[in-house]
Amino acid sequence: MTYRLLQAPAPTEERGAGQNRRQTNDHFQPHPGLPRACATKFGPVDAKPCDLFVHDADELWRNGQWVEGKGRMIRRDAPKNEILMYVSGHAQLEHSTRMGCAVVTGPKSSADYATDGRLLTFCVETHGPTKELHSPSILRAELRAAIAALEHTDLADEGWSRITVATHSYDLVEGITKHIAGWQQQNWGVVTAGGPITSRDMWETLLSIINRYASRGVEVRFWRVPKDLNREARKEARKISERGHTRTEYNASSGTDYVSTAMAMLEAY
């Protein structure tokens, strides 16, 4: 199927970051108190993501906010400089090393819009950022998905000042917004009710990315949503864990590599 981009209304001078006239990040200031010990939690527990963020590319186009190749789920209320992404991870049972990740980076669209790259899917590497071998787990897959969401492209360079990552994972949200500060203070020697802290390499990698964005004036927030509101990411993470090919070496490359890896997997089926 061939997609085409319809002609959107001409942008106005009032439009800012996240719209047709995106700002640069030159005016953004580093957040105070760097380095940050944890991320920020997004708190409207009674709100639905679709009420706060645009999930439909047609709506973006009607409002003159659609940018080819960079469609994002932007915040509805002003200023529109915040975007939403969904993440999920899945680990196969029966001692399989396959762990699947999925990131939904942009809104759904009709056939009139190009949506290549709005979905990133890949298998988690068996070795982490420190090149050490790690056992598969759902939490590790969820952490890897959050890392990929923030690394798939330079979101600060696109002009966003806030990035909200939605997940149904309680452990991911509480860990990166609350517990990680204590883990660092105790040099990771703490033990939780379920045992010692695991996936330190992933936690520290995720926090370093959050701090890198903060140093450029971009705030990363995490939002725990119900499972049924994270259906697409959950479905794709499970699918890739069942059908994908296990990778060994950690790949911290750009989103182009994530997309090409996912496409290669799909073409193999």
Per-residue confidence (pLDDT) for residue 2, from 0 to 100: 29
* CA atoms within 13 Å, Cβ hemisphere of 262: 23
Predicted TM-score (pTM) of the model is 0.83
Quote the pLDDT of residue 111: 52
- Asked if residues 244 and 98 have their Cβ atoms less than 8 Å apart, the reply is yes
Say which amino acid occupies 198. T
Residue 265 parent element (H or E): helix 255-267
pLDDT value at position 85? Answer: 97
**Would you state the pLDDT for residue 118?**
85
Q: What is the pLDDT of residue 259?
A: 39
Contacts of 252-260 spanning 24+ positions with Cβ under 8 A: 252/129, 252/151, 254/151, 254/152, 254/153, 255/117, 255/120, 255/148, 255/151, 255/152, 255/153, 258/120, 258/122, 258/148, 258/152, 259/116, 259/117, 259/120, 259/152
Cβ contact 158:16 at 8 Å: no
Mean pLDDT per 10-residue interval, the chain, length 269 residues: 30 37 60 92 86 88 72 84 95 74 88 63 91 90 96 92 97 96 87 77 96 96 96 94 83 49 35
What are the chain's domains? 40-267 (3.30.420.10)
Using the 8-state DSSP alphabet, how is residue 196 labeled? E
